A and B are shown apart, each in its own frame.
Chain A
């Protein structure tokens, strides 16, 4: 970990009409860091990821990636709203895995993984396939590469989605409640892949999760969101061991109660 953040939310706000989803968020994430974002529903945690993936616009503030503005660009020494070309340039460093997988249903697992490397990065089919084959092997689906999403279980689909995102070689990976849509017995296989990713790659990871056990064991830092703000954050040991904020205590009590 270095001192220069790879992602910086600089007083970022997001509003839907009168509703403020995120209120002047300040958050630095460092290279290689694994950050788990937790909090009650409606606390803005998913919005953080979606803004970073540019799936949502922001109303105030600036998001920085690797020292460059993502949502803005410099023109005559001033920051103005970024155009599509600029967004695409910076966005190339980020990948995302979704709660509902969002695989392309008309393509096999392999085709899902080579589509963007070929169309976006202009890779040759051979090279893209070699890369995809490695990744599908890494997520344990070497045997399933000719299968269509409809022929795969939820856990398998999600692992393909992880391979698909990694095929673009992002520096930052976003995981948005990636096990929430899975049957309980399939959660483990997906978490196992994420664990492996964490230990083998120098990826920066941001995950919104309800898996407290996983967050505790895997993350370097826990951020607890409440009503559009970071209510408390810290190393999992302190965070779960001796939470300071009352909201955090209430939340943890409620989730741990539920098992």
Chain B
């Protein structure tokens, strides 16, 4: 889909929200839902930042680290990819305090979801890094670069372009999995919806609004990643400005 179509979809979904907001049956719920959406957005953004850092570090560790770092990276990836995000949330929120470490629900949400998505992201990053042609390493070796210089200046800038589309998928996964944080006392978008649904039974307006709000947020991610991809692959033909 072209980026223009995506923008049209985003504008349309915002319009739908605006139109529904003029209806008393809907507008009643909107402030609470938007409040929840703000928390959802915050957790998504912070989680995504953590995921990127962890994903790239784990990929580099797994590929090029000394043995202990490789093991650590592998253990991290397997644990956080191999168990459910819900169990990770519960473990950090309910079990960790038993060992004397109590974290706020908000912190746990960002940590668990960021680490979870980061584990998937690590494998995307690893794939992207190893897909850079071997000749690039060889040319950098022939220019007597150190391994760090090769990675930083030659390999990673090319790998990032290949990482963007799969990472876009993961960020949308992340957005959707934030609904889980309602189970550790946080009032996110999904939680607000459930809460109001239970007290008012107005299922249709509440969940229609929630659906459109989630869609709008995921469209923002898709458009953002598409923009980045365009810039980065132009950047692949641009790089260091001279």
At the interface, yes or no: B8 with Cβ under 8 Å from chain A? Answer: no
CB distance B142 to A55 under 8 Å? Answer: yes
Partner of A102, one of B138, B144, B158: B138
Most chain B beta-carbon neighbours within 10 Å: one of A108, A146, A164, A165: A108
Contact A102 B136 (CB under 8 A): yes
Q: Quick one: CB contact mask for B219-239 with A, threshold 8 Å, 1 for yes?
A: 000000000000000011111
Contacts of A146 in B (CB 8 A): 242
B146 within 8 A of A: yes
Q: Knowing A92-B144, A111-B240, A119-B149 touch, does A103 contact B157 (C-beta < 8 A)?
A: no
Tell whether, in the assembled complex, residue B138 and residue A108 are in contact, meaning their CB atoms are under 8 Å apart.
no
Q: Tell me whether A116 and B240 are in contact (CB under 8 A).
A: no
Q: Are A119 and B242 in contact (CB under 8 A)?
A: no
Least CB separation from B235: chain A residue = A106
Query: In the complex the two chains form, is B141's CB within 8 Å of A119's CB?
Result: no
Contacts of A107 in B (CB 8 A): 239-240
Task: Give the residue name and chain of the B residue nearest to A105 (CB).
Answer: B236
| A145–B135 CA distance with the chains assembled, in angstroms | 22
Which among B146, B157, B240 is the interface contact of A88 at CB below 8 angstroms?
B146
Whether A104 lies near B154 (C-beta < 8 A) is yes
A106 touches B144 (CB 8 A): no
Question: Which of A24-32, A93-101, A194-202 lies at the interface with chain B?
Answer: A93-101
Q: Would you call B143 and A120 a contact (CB within 8 A)?
A: yes
Q: Is A91 an interface residue (CB 8 A)?
A: yes
Q: Is A150 an interface residue (CB 8 A)?
A: yes
Kindly supply a per-residue 1/0 record for chain A positions 146-161, scoring 1 wherever the CB is within 8 Å of any chain B CB and 0 otherwise: 1010110000000001
Contact A106 B142 (CB under 8 A): no
CB contacts (< 8 Å) of B158 on chain A: these are 105-106
Complex interface: chain B residues within 8 A of A151 (CB): 237
Tell me, yes or no, whether A63 is within 8 Å of chain B by CB. Answer: no
Given A106-B235, A106-B239, A107-B239, residue A95 in contact with residue B139 (CB < 8 A): no
Residues of A within 8 A of B (CB-CB), count: 36
Residue B45 CB within 8 A of the other chain: no
Interface: A54 (CB within 8 A): yes
- For the complex formed, measure the closest distance between the CB of B26 and the CB atoms of chain A, giving whole angstroms: 49
Q: Does A168 sit at the interface, judged by CB under 8 A?
A: yes
Report chain B residues within 8 Å CB of A55: 138, 141-142
CA distance A168 to B144 in the complex (A): 9
Q: What's the Cα separation between A150 and B144 when bound, in Å?
A: 24
- A6 within 8 Å of B (CB atoms): no
Closest Cβ neighbor of A117 among chain B residues: B143
**Judging by beta carbons under 8 Å apart, are A53 and B143 in contact?**
no
A48 close to chain B: CB less than 8 A: no
CB distance from A79 to the nearest CB of B (A): 22
Among the interface residues A88, A116, A150, which one has the most CB atoms of the partner chain B within 10 A?
A116
Indicate if B145 sits at the interface (CB-CB under 8 A): yes
Smallest Cβ-Cβ distance to B150: which chain A residue: A119
Q: B202 in the interface, Cβ–Cβ < 8 Å?
A: no
List the B side residues contacting A106 at CB < 8 Å.
157-158, 235-239
- A-B contacts, 23 of them at CB < 8 A, read A53-B138, A53-B142, A92-B144, A95-B142, A95-B143, A98-B139, A102-B135, A104-B136, A106-B158, A106-B236, A106-B237, A106-B238, A107-B239, A111-B242, A120-B145, A120-B146, A120-B149, A148-B237, A161-B139, A164-B143, A165-B142, A168-B143, A168-B144
Enumerate chain A interface residues (CB-CB to B < 8 A): 53-55, 84, 88, 91-92, 94-96, 98, 100, 102-108, 110-111, 114-116, 119-120, 129, 145-146, 148, 150-151, 161, 164-165, 168
